Chains A and B, each alone.
Chain A
């Protein structure tokens, strides 16, 4: 298939009417494809013969921009990558840089990162599941899950001050500790979220229309998922038992016991159910983390990496010097490179960072799980009807910010 973009001639079909296929553009602005992605479909009636995916409408030059700013100044840019689960991006970036320095944040900091990552992951899955159901017409499900997500946003706002553009982590620690009574607030929110989840499940699990539109549609086999580099809920729905939190544990995920929901068929319904069940698993991880949360510092104590507390800056000369060095020169990891993956909401989110010893990164690369998952979108849609594009696209959960960066 050479140069499909410039070669989209409608082909003649072999029937007695000598009809042609139709080229349909599901353009970047489309109410059902959330995110700015363009699908060029070649149709025979309702059936898709060929599909091409045109990405890049939300490309903002993240990787180039990062080469010009400090390591801590990259953190607000990472928020805008996967903007439905921003803390996971923050944590991934910061862990990559901490591994370049070869330091480890104290245990309380690690547990708080786990808690916030899991709250963020719940937001991501609630958004995907809710929006996916809404696109099939189940508007109430979406509203119930958006209400659940609002509870989570309230919690995140209590901790970080923002709902979406969070920038909570810093290299070497966190911005600030958890507020008082956060554990009780989380337990109260979880009770409400569970009720919303049960309501949503009741509406959807025995609904004939929903099941027929989702089951056996968009089947990705296990080998295909591995060959196309797909990880995360999509691959787990196809039976690939791979979760970065279990396989390559980071930030003390190995201290917690949780299951990884696995599907068997790899159709839309499996992807929906895997995400739905991962919400419960995330809640269980957060509860375990609260039980075991130790007291202590949340950031490491190295003045070359993290800024000292303000009273030291104003009272001691060493504090002032280290504050000055970090603000004006930036933190300077040793020269070298690292690839560090974390489990994002859609799969393995990896950061490949090359440092040349100066205050700015030399090269930053985000390995976006959605981008790689869009690689299968073209071959997957062949043979399906236009009506299937909507649930398949919804369950692949392409987040524009992460795909295009």
Chain B
């Protein structure tokens, strides 16, 4: 299963160090098709936080930068639905590493690495927004690219390309200490130029 076409000596160094045994939770996987730098491993989601901490703090590996967190929706073609893919880089040693986690369809959950790499804040929020995968321990997991009232997760394969969304209610303004909080009657002398109503029109 570990078909590797890694030629780069540094990456081979990294590969042999990892496979020496200090990282038993990393399972060798088919490497990415990037000739020299596509070293990839799989890991179980439960063990991921532990492995990530070890990889970051180990002085020989020293993966100090999280480059990317993304997800692939395999729908029915594999026995797991989602695959969360992490790309790491060591600035000091110029090692690259890719770790893939297999996540099931029912309540997909993955531990968050925001405590190790603050870059994960926005990246994990985007995966949550687009795929619905919950990152446990993130602390601020909300939608980032789509609006809050969006229903569904757009990049999943069962979400249509031109999905339609219902109209949303007018939002309460977030400013809580300005005149827009006051009721209409209190704004003496000002005619109401805008009908703020939440009843459905006949046009709906």
Q: Which A residues are within 8 Å of any B CB, using their own CB? A: 1-5, 8-10, 20, 22-23, 25, 40, 55-56, 59, 61, 63-65, 68, 99-100, 102, 226-231, 240, 242, 247-248, 334, 336-341, 348, 350, 352, 354, 356, 362-363, 365, 367, 371-372, 374-376, 404-405
Contact = CB atoms under 8 A, between A and B. Distances in A.
B33 A375 contact: no
A35 B96 CA distance: 32
Given A350-B68, A350-B87, A372-B122, 4 more contacts: A8-B174, A64-B154, A102-B35, A362-B72
A240 B91 contact: yes
B30 interface: yes
Contact of B32 (A22, A338, A367, A404): A338
B68 A365 contact: yes
Contacts of A5: 142, 148, 174
B145 interface: yes
Nearest to A3: B142
A229 B90 CA distance: 11
B55 to A, nearest CB: 15
> Shortest 5 CB-CB distances between A and B: which pairs?
A229-B119, A56-B145, A375-B122, A367-B68, A365-B70
Interface in B157-190: 159, 161, 174-177
Contacts of B147: 56
Contacts of B77: 356
A295 B165 CA distance: 54
B37 A248 contact: yes
Given A40-B174, A340-B34, A227 B118 contact: yes
Given A40-B174, A56-B145, A354 B72 contact: yes
8 contacts: A3-B142, A8-B176, A55-B145, A56-B143, A229-B65, A339-B34, A350-B87, A374-B122
Name the prevailing secondary structure of the B interface residues: loop
B33 A229 contact: no
In this complex, the member of A5, A226, A362 whose beta carbon has the largest number of chain B beta carbons within 10 angstroms is A226
Contacts of B37: 248
Nearest to B140: A1
A371 B176 CA distance: 30
B66 interface: yes
A262 B37 CA distance: 25
B146 interface: yes
A315 to B, nearest CB: 35
Q: Which of A229, A248, A348, A405 has the most CB of B within 10 A?
A: A229
B67 interface: yes
Given A65-B161, A68-B161, A367 B34 contact: no
A404 B145 contact: yes
B42 to A, nearest CB: 13
Contacts of B145: 55-56, 59, 404-405
A12 B74 CA distance: 49
A245 B175 CA distance: 46
A23 B87 contact: no
Nearest to B72: A363
A375 B119 contact: yes
**Interface residues of chain A: helix, strand, loop or mixed (majority):** mixed
Contacts of B175: 23, 25
Given A20-B177, A338-B38, A2 B139 contact: yes
Given A336-B30, A352-B85, A371 B122 contact: yes
Contacts of B7: none
Given A2-B140, A4-B140, A100-B33, A227 B119 contact: yes
Contact of B139 (A1, A339, A367): A1
Contact of A226 (B30, B32, B65): B65
Contact of B67 (A55, A68, A348, A376): A348
B119 A10 contact: no
Contact of B98 (A55, A230, A248, A339): A339
B192 to A, nearest CB: 23
B147 to A, nearest CB: 7
Contact of B34 (A23, A68, A99, A372): A99
A336 B32 contact: yes
Contacts of B38: 338-339
Contacts of B142: 3, 5
Given A229-B119, A352-B85, A337 B33 contact: yes
Nearest to B94: A247
Most buried by A among B85, B94, B117, B145: B145
Interface string B24-57: 0000001011110110000000000000000000
B184 to A, nearest CB: 22
Nearest to B116: A227
A375 B118 contact: yes
B150 to A, nearest CB: 10
A32 B121 CA distance: 26
A228 B123 CA distance: 10
A84 to B, nearest CB: 21
Contact of B144 (A4, A10, A55): A55
B155 interface: yes
A350 B67 contact: yes
A240 B139 CA distance: 29
Interface in B48-98: 64-68, 70, 72-73, 77, 85, 87, 91, 94, 96, 98
Interface in B108-138: 117-119, 121-123, 126, 130
B119 A339 contact: no
